[in-house]
A and B are shown apart, each in its own frame.
Chain A
């Protein structure tokens, strides 16, 4: 068993700022970004097999909770990250869109699995060929199903996006234009 010494402990980087005896001053955006990225509360929109892989990711072995996603919420009002895991049928499309629209900003979308990214192997009349036909997606995790390590890599990419998101993004015209592209107000 490895003894814990300070050489094999990974300490995360602190943001740039002014440091002194007993204080650390940095910009508000960086602090907020740091706080947000380590406490992302996901909404698991699990429909199929990728949902089972997500259950494995949330289990003790691949613990997703250590990234701050301790509390899952099935209500979009209290969630930051919409994780779409599984095949979305065309009948489910409006439901997914409504759930996305009812999330409060700041919100991100993670599309897990081949079916959510592009329809997967189900190239048929009833399956939506990728959720990015109806909602904007931030990170895609390919795989059928992706292993928990890959899902965690997806979450870490989301964390990178969260850290660098501007505080006023939701009121910016670029954000509005992007949503208008999808027909969302």
Chain B
């Protein structure tokens, strides 16, 4: 079983490196979860390739979300794909510049990415080009900030009845 799994992972990495060796920034397996960091330019092609290739066949998008790395001034977009036949999962991460996080949408491949990309836009400000309906999904429409970025404070700023002493300020 173990060797079988290792073989599968080898096949996936080989299939990826065969065509997109230059796009790969790093491959890792934190907690035995295959994670590949990629450059942003050809991400849609790569996802399409992983969808079609017989060795990989990642036909299910588990989730997609954003991550803010303020030290690197980057906002990452993380895609988690799942091969339901061999029960293999893969995580793809692309890094976008903090001041202009733009990337093409993957809704043509996975319709489920529609709301997930809206959520990523709502909370991190990542603009997905080609998205059919890119507007805020969970927050109030009139909001101008992106709440999940690290500089945004968690607490409600309009409270006037909180005593600073009780909150350690």
Contact = CB atoms under 8 A, between A and B. Distances in A.
Given A90-B140, A91-B139, A91-B140, A125 B159 contact: no
Interface string B138-161: 111000000100001111111100
Contacts of B158: 129
A126 B138 CA distance: 9
Sort chain B's interface into a size bin.
10 to 19
Contacts of B157: 125
A126 B153 CA distance: 11
B138 to A, nearest CB: 8
Nearest to B145: A125
A145 B161 CA distance: 23
Nearest to A119: B156
B140 A129 contact: no
Contact of B154 (A91, A125, A129): A125
A123 interface: yes
Nearest to B153: A125
A129 B159 CA distance: 8
Nearest to A133: B158
A123 B157 CA distance: 9
A124 interface: yes
A92 B138 CA distance: 11
A158 interface: no
Interface in B12-67: none
7 contacts: A91-B140, A123-B159, A124-B154, A124-B156, A125-B147, A125-B154, A129-B158
Interface of A: 90-91, 119, 123-127, 129
Closest 4 A/B residue pairs (Cβ): A123-B155, A91-B140, A90-B140, A124-B154
